[in-house]
Chain A
């Protein structure tokens, strides 16, 4: 008998091959069977799914996804069309989903980061010390510097626009959050009164803002 449903894996998730002619009802049943059989294999994976072989209406696609999630413990993060552009966008989404939770957890570093040194993390970063000009802190989550930030800080590496940068002394060469870059002013004004006040940098409407770290601002922080 000809198979109406086949499951294949690619780098980021599953490709479900569907028979072009078979009635949709049969395909749904077959998908249920296939995923029930392989449920143990996939366990609680977060995955991207794409369907190939036949055109699906949005309703049909929704039905298929429900069938998959009903019959297995897979979390379908999103559904891809089979083209490269989408695959890339999808990869990004997936990375965000995986690391998004990581912004809530963090990694500590104690010491001064000096020119030429780079500290990278898959989660958030807390630096107990200074970040000197020429040094870089790169994190998929948030960056917190308990000291002076004079170098470059890059939060939300994989595109998380909710990521933020906090420093006790905020004097960065450059701050990047997700895809937005802010650089320091070319001529820094004579040291402002607020220089030694803790500050936070965050994105709003595509711009990076730096503000004193007060209670209201902290209340607005969302950890995702």
Chain B
């Protein structure tokens, strides 16, 4: 039984693509057959984050328009041969694909794959409608900032209106130092405001920048963010994993600083 998950946020730049890459790779590491679809037509990103940009020959629009078969457009991942990417077209615009066409494409992919993960563009226009067309489940990514949370709220409303009832929240880029000081909303604050179930929180980790530079997802590594993503992956698969402690303050100087801070 395959599951179709859309990764969405409303606001841009909160980490949809990074989340898609890491969740997809994580599922593949746990031996699931996974395809990632970049639905951001005109501005493709997922291929670069996955480090597969130099293998693209055909894209989503080519498949939908019948210029090639699905198999020809699917790019096999560098490291996991049960992980595939369907890249988006860069030289076209969102109207090149309709929600009906997406639905049909996903129905075909369902026969092959355990998980189909759709990287949704920012915004609530055509691209969003295309991305959610075939999805049965959504991961809403937000950061603990007013603008991102407001947009996430709008997106959750739209997902519910489109009968996607299984909506889980990922709070991204948490900075525990700011949270402790009271200058960042806590995970609980965000969950409280948005009133949806939390599937995981990911710390603001410089290792994500490094891994993205290298075109390799961070999931599976020992970095804090890598572990956070793996926990999310396991929860997606239905495992009951407790939320991890995102506190990074274990260095000597940090401990000293904390002693002074708490006074």
Please indicate whether A and B come from the same complex rather than being unrelated chains: yes
Q: How many residues of B contact A (CB 8 A)?
A: 13
Asked whether any CB of chain A lies closer than 8 Å to the CB of B57, the reply is yes
| Centre residue among A115, A173, A174, A186 by max chain B CB count within 10 A | A186
Residues of B within 8 A of A118 (CB): 91
Asked whether any CB of chain A lies closer than 8 Å to the CB of B42, the reply is yes
Asked whether any CB of chain A lies closer than 8 Å to the CB of B95, the reply is no
Contact B53 A133 (CB under 8 A): yes
Q: How many residues of A contact B (CB 8 A)?
A: 13
The CA-CA distance from A45 to B57 in the complex, in Å, is 36
User: Closest CB-CB distance, A41 to chain B, in whole Å?
Assistant: 37
Residues of A within 8 A of B78 (CB): 186
Contact A116 B90 (CB under 8 A): yes
The CA-CA distance from A115 to B44 in the complex, in Å, is 10
Residues of B within 8 A of A107 (CB): none
The digit string for A133-144, where 1 denotes a CB below 8 A from any CB of B, is: 110100000000
Asked whether any CB of chain B lies closer than 8 Å to the CB of A210, the reply is no
Contact A181 B57 (CB under 8 A): yes
Contact A134 B90 (CB under 8 A): yes
Contact A116 B42 (CB under 8 A): yes
User: Closest CB-CB distance, A215 to chain B, in whole Å?
Assistant: 30
Asked whether any CB of chain B lies closer than 8 Å to the CB of A183, the reply is yes
Q: Which of A116, A174, A183, A186 contacts B91 (CB 8 A)?
A: A116
Q: Which of B51, B55, B91, B215 contacts A136 (CB 8 A)?
A: B91
Contact A115 B54 (CB under 8 A): no
Contact A174 B54 (CB under 8 A): yes
The CA-CA distance from A115 to B42 in the complex, in Å, is 10
Asked whether any CB of chain B lies closer than 8 Å to the CB of A184, the reply is yes
A-side residues, CB < 8 A to B, are 115-118, 133-134, 136, 173-174, 181, 183-184, 186
A-B contact pairs, 25 of them (CB 8 A): A115-B90, A116-B42, A116-B43, A116-B90, A116-B91, A117-B91, A118-B91, A133-B53, A134-B44, A134-B53, A134-B90, A136-B91, A173-B53, A173-B54, A174-B54, A174-B55, A174-B56, A181-B57, A183-B54, A183-B55, A184-B54, A186-B51, A186-B54, A186-B78, A186-B215
